[in-house]
Amino acid sequence: MTAKVKLVNYTSDAKDLLLFTKNTRLFDSDDSMSVIKDWSEEKKQEELDYMLKTIKSSWEFIDYTFVLSGVSRGFTHQFVRTRQASYAQQSLRVVSKEGFDYVVPERLKQVENFEALKLYRQAMENINEFYEKLLDMKVPVEDARGILPTNICTKIVAKFNLRTLHETAKSRLSPRAQHEMRQTFKMMVDEVVKVHPWAKPFLTPTEWSAPSMSRSLNEEKFKS
């Protein structure tokens, strides 16, 4: 199953609201929003460029709500670690998943991994068969779910403000991120840019180099 991302709600007139909240401390007038609306696009762009380098608190006034479907539970386990965002996820405790869809890792789709892919798909079919047998035996859904795989497809609703989206994009769009995470987050950014083209510079990856897992483990070994 292919992951899908849909932007279902977002802050309207976001650019002017962003500039308004940033400049509130500078204006004495109660009608400062009208002043900002009268600014030229060039002036607004100058302000946005400045905000990229300095003031980020105003970014928190701009919200985006997404529906992500066809993503794996393994993906969502990582995804919800961004605690400044808000989430609501499909429950395996109440939703029966006979004949479930699942995500196939990109590396398994490569030609040289043909036998591994066969084994992977067979394992998924076996799990589905055993899951359905448990349900036929009147085992409650909330108990039968214990054998479901990490890569079973799920659906999740997520709300980010622009600041959280900006901070998360730094790592989630990095080449170091797992393929499913990078691909799905790119779709989220693409959805935002469709409605707010000016936001693209706010949502770019940062060059960074995380230590490898083996290196981290070795360092812990020496500490102990």
Catalytic residue numbers read 172
Identify whether the C-beta of residue 86 lies closer than 8 Å to the C-beta of residue 135. no
Residue 150 makes CB contacts below 8 A (sequence gap 6+) with 72, 73, 74, 77
Distance CA 199, CA 160 (A): 14
Q: Are 66 and 158 in contact, with CB atoms under 8 Å apart?
A: yes
Each residue of 38-73: b (16+ CB within 10 Å) or e? eeeeeebeebbeebeeeeeebbebbbbbbebbbbbb
Residues 155 and 32: their CA atoms lie apart, in Å, by: 41
The torsion angle over the Cα atoms of residues 10, 15, 20 and 21, rounded to 10 degrees, is: 50
The residue among 92, 91, 87 whose CA lies nearest residue 157 is 87
CB 17 within 8 A of CB 50: no
> What are the φ/ψ torsions at residue 189 (nearest 5 degrees)?
-65, -40
